């Protein structure tokens, strides 16, 4: 048989096999993928470039080499060719609330170098295949997979293809090794990466391995030595001395944006390197550009306003709002009362923000509800709510002896009452955490003082807004019932939520100061009740007033004897182990699913979640069936290690719920408001489904 006839015969036999070869293009519901070759024909032993182009559906994204807080990197498994590693273009930040991921939208192209077998014969076909897997996410995540292939002729001499220019354009999007050296050193918050480039106005570092850097934490930029320096808060697996940190640094200057690959080792003198417990709020000033991972000031203000509105529905705040709403049923200057109430709320949030700024300047780690770490503060709030309850019960009237002095003074007395009701609402709101607050507060606590004050004022305005709207909108007041005898009964009824809050605060005090602390608190309540009863029984005489004041003063004086107990017991009867980063690492090393609950006895949202979700039988059964190990971290008294974990996940306070699925690279962060169905779904599904 002649050579030409033999070739034709072989081609005829190979035709069915060629028809079964993997196509160069394929599509899923959310991504169109294709392989693009720089060559039209390849030579034996040649090394050339292939691109995997992804055309991603609008508003969806896939993931980079290090996906960030969640996600999964795109992978390519080759057959029929020797393949180099994926060459990744610079990712973008995919921020969803406090979660920060690294990935791609639009039409990214991942480059790979393929090598043709050296024994390939001219006239044959080079047909490598690729199994491509990715996770594509929007508000849900969907794993997808396609099979792709190339079919290129093998020739004695290679021939460039029609897509060679496109390949070179994509290659320019791949970060190249930096033409400058970077330095790495330990810093209080983790690490400081610096370089010599001058005039940098914006910078962000994408670590190429998970855990070395906290993805959701800001990366404050500063000028240093004629160049730039970037503070990198440590992640869950901090860099040890002598270990390299590598990744992509994106720098913006007057000439534009350029990304480079860089690598530097942690100096040996740095020891083990700072862990999560060493995280501190990064230094920042008004000139510091906002990092790309921040949600931004306007979104933070909007989230804070919305969170403040929702706080009004929390069980710790709603009774106070109801008390104030009674004032609108009576005749009076409702607008003035609304403004006074709002002023009281805003003034309280200003004070709270100022204290946070002062503590942060002193190097302390603080978050939302930090004041409830103090047993003395818990006791003082318990006393305050007890006095409010006694007032509502009719045992005494604040300012009652001044009612005959004149209407002008009476009006001022009413405005003062509105102001301090606003203060009370702000105080009792602080142990609550509403949805949307977490991202706004985490942003605020990482920003300069002016931004922090603005976010806290927005939160306070949201808290005051319902009463302010009722005060200024007469049509809304018509929704309220008409005045009558029911008002006194309803007012007396509202005393009981106050008493219930006192019981809860005493329980919190028991976690912090033990039985002795509770005994002192109860003695103080008796002293106050006795003094006020004496005043009431004596017709508000001078002696009775002195007795009442003496009871309050003695009770407050006894608070100085409150001392923290040696250990704080757990905050729930659910079966769990104590949280520690070491225990999490040990369990993950054993490939066991882990659920982490960071909570506090004074956090009402935490307690509600435990009652309505975590303690439900169906949740316990799902945990047992999946073999989930339940770890609980108690933040009732300030714990720097838990504070660091909260900060690393973009939170300023509890609750924080984390679920580590077996084999997952990182935790799935669950919502702040839990339901049994959400927990059962989380532990029952093998892969994580959150973006």
Domain ranges within the chain, ordered by starting residue? 21-173, 177-278, 297-561, 577-684
**For the segment 524-568, what is each residue's pLDDT rounded down to a tens digit?**
777 777 777 777 777 667 776 777 777 677 776 766 666 655 444
Other CB atoms within a 10 A radius of the CB of residue 366 amount to: 21
What tokens appear for 558 in the block?
A: 């006894």
The CATH superfamily of 21-173 is Thiol:disulfide interchange protein DsbD, N-terminal domain (2.60.40.1250)
Q: Which residues pair with 152 in a beta bridge?
A: 126
Residue 459 to residue 462: CA distance in whole angstroms: 5
**What is the torsion angle, in degrees rounded to the nearest 10, for the CA atoms of residue 229, residue 232, residue 233 and residue 238?**
-130
Out of 3.20.20.370, 3.30.365.10, 3.10.250.10, 3.40.30.10, the CATH code matching 577-684 is 3.40.30.10
Task: Tell me which of 5-14, 15-24, 158-167, 670-679 is least confident.
Answer: 5-14
| Range 66-81 average pLDDT | 89
> At 16, is the secondary structure helix, strand, or coil?
helix
Q: What angle do CA 295, 317, 603 make, to 5 degrees?
A: 65
Backbone φ and ψ for 91, nearest 5 degrees, come out as -80, 170
Would the pLDDT of 289 be above 60?
no
To the nearest 10 degrees (0 to 180), the angle between helices 407-429 and 318-327 is 160
Which residue, among 72, 237, 62, has the nearest Cα to 648 in the 3D structure? Answer: 237
Would the pLDDT of 430 be above 90?
no
Residue 275 to residue 190: CA distance in whole angstroms: 7
Q: What angle do CA 601, 605, 606 make, to 5 degrees?
A: 45
Other CB atoms within a 10 A radius of the CB of residue 225 amount to: 11
pLDDT at 97: 63
- Whether 577-684 and 177-278 are alike in CATH topology: the answer is no
Q: Which residue has the tokens 């999490």?
A: 584
The reported pTM is 0.43
389 and 499 in contact (C-beta within 8 Å)?
yes
Instruction: Give whole-number Cα distances, 666 to 209, 235, 328, 417, 614, in Å.
Output: 12, 11, 51, 50, 22
Q: Which residues pair with 688 in a beta bridge?
A: none
> At 199, is the secondary structure helix, strand, or coil?
coil
- Confidence at 203, pLDDT banded by 50, 70, 90: very high
- Confidence at 610, pLDDT banded by 50, 70, 90: confident
Residue 206 to residue 365: CA distance in whole angstroms: 25
- Confidence at 301, pLDDT banded by 50, 70, 90: confident
> At 357, is the secondary structure helix, strand, or coil?
helix
CATH dotted code for 177-278: 2.60.40
Helix (H) or strand (E) holding 103: strand 99-104
268 CB-side CA count, 13 A: 0
312 and 466 in contact (C-beta within 8 Å)?
yes
Q: What angle do CA 444, 447, 449 make, to 5 degrees?
A: 90
Residue 227 to residue 159: CA distance in whole angstroms: 45
pLDDT at 9: 47
Is residue 489 exposed (0-12), middle (13-18) or buried (19+ Cβ within 10 Å)? exposed
């Amino acid at each position: 048989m002649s050579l030409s006839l033999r070739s034709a015969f072989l081609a005829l036999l190979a035709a069915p096999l060629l028809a079964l070869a993997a196509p160069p293009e394929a599509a899923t519901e959310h991504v169109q993928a294709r392989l693009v070759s720089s060559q039209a024909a390849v030579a034996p032993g040649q090394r050339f470039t292939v691109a995997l182009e992804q055309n991603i559906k609008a508003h969806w994204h896939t993931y980079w080499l290090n996906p960030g807080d969640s996600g999964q990197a795109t992978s390519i498994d080759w057959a029929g060719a020797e393949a180099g590693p994926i060459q990744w273009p610079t990712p973008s930040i995919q921020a969803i609330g406090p979660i920060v991921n690294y990935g791609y939208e639009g039409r990214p192209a991942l480059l790979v170098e393929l090598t043709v077998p050296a024994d390939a014969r001219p006239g044959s076909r080079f047909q490598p295949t690729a199994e491509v897997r990715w996770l594509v996410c929007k508000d849900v995540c969907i794993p997808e997979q396609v099979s792709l292939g190339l079919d290129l002729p093998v020739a004695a001499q290679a021939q460039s293809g029609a897509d060679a220019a496109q390949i070179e354009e994509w290659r320019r999007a791949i970060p190249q090794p930096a033409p400058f050296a970077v330095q790495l050193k330990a810093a209080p918050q983790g690490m400081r990466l610096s370089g010599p480039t001058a005039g940098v106005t914006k910078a962000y570092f994408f670590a190429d391995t998970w855990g070395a850097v906290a993805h959701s934490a800001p990366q404050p930029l500063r000028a240093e030595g004629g160049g730039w320096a970037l503070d990198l808060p440590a992640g869950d697996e901090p860099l040890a001395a002598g270990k390299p940190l590598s990744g992509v640094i994106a720098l913006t200057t007057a000439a534009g944006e350029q990304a480079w690959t860089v690598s530097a080792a942690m100096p040996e003198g740095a020891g083990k390197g700072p862990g999560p417990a060493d995280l501190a709020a990064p230094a920042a000033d008004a000139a510091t550009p906002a990092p790309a991972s921040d949600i931004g000031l306007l979104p933070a203000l909007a989230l804070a306003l919305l969170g403040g509105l929702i706080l009004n529905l929390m069980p710790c705040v709603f009774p106070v709002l109801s008390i104030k709403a009674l004032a609108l049923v009576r005749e009076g200057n409702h607008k003035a009362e609304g403004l006074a109430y709002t002023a009281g709320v805003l003034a309280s949030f200003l004070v709270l923000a100022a204290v946070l700024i002062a503590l942060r300047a002193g190097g302390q780690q603080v978050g939302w509800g930090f004041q409830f770490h103090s047993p003395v503060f818990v006791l003082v709030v318990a006393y305050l709510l007890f006095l409010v309850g006694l007032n509502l019960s009719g045992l005494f009237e604040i300012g009652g002896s001044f009612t005959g002095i004149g209407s002008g003074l009476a009006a001022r007395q009413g405005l003062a009452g509105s102001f301090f009701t606003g203060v009370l609402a702000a105080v009792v709101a602080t142990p609550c955490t509403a949805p949307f607050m977490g991202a706004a507060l985490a942003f605020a606590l990482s920003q300069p003082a002016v931004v922090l004050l603005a976010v806290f004022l927005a939160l306070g305005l949201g808290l005051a807004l319902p009463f302010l709207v009722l005060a200024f909108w007469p049509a809304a007041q018509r929704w309220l019932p008409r005045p009558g005898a029911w008002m006194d009964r309803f007012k007396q009824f509202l005393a009981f939520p106050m008493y219930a809050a006192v019981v809860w605060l005493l329980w919190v005090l028991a976690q912090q100061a033990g039985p002795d602390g509770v005994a002192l608190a109860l003695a103080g309540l008796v002293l106050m009740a006795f003094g006020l009863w004496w005043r009431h029984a004596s017709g508000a005489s001078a002696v009775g007033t002195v007795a009442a004041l003496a009871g309050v003063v003695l009770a407050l004086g006894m608070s100085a004897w409150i001392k923290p107990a040696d250990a704080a017991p757990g905050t729930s009867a659910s079966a769990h182990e104590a949280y520690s980063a070491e225990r999490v690492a040990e369990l993950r090393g054993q490939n066991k699913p882990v659920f982490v609950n960071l909570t506090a006895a004074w956090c009402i949202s935490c307690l509600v979640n435990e009652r309505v979700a975590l303690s439900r039988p169906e949740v316990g059964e799902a945990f047992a069936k999946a073999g989930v190990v339940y770890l609980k971290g108690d933040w009732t008294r300030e714990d720097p290690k838990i504070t660091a974990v909260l900060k690393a996940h973009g939170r300023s306070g509890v609750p924080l719920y984390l679920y580590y699925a077996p084999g997952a690279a990182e935790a799935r962060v669950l919502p702040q408001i839990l339901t049994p169905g959400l927990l059962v779904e989380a532990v029952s599904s093998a892969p994580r489904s959150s973006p």
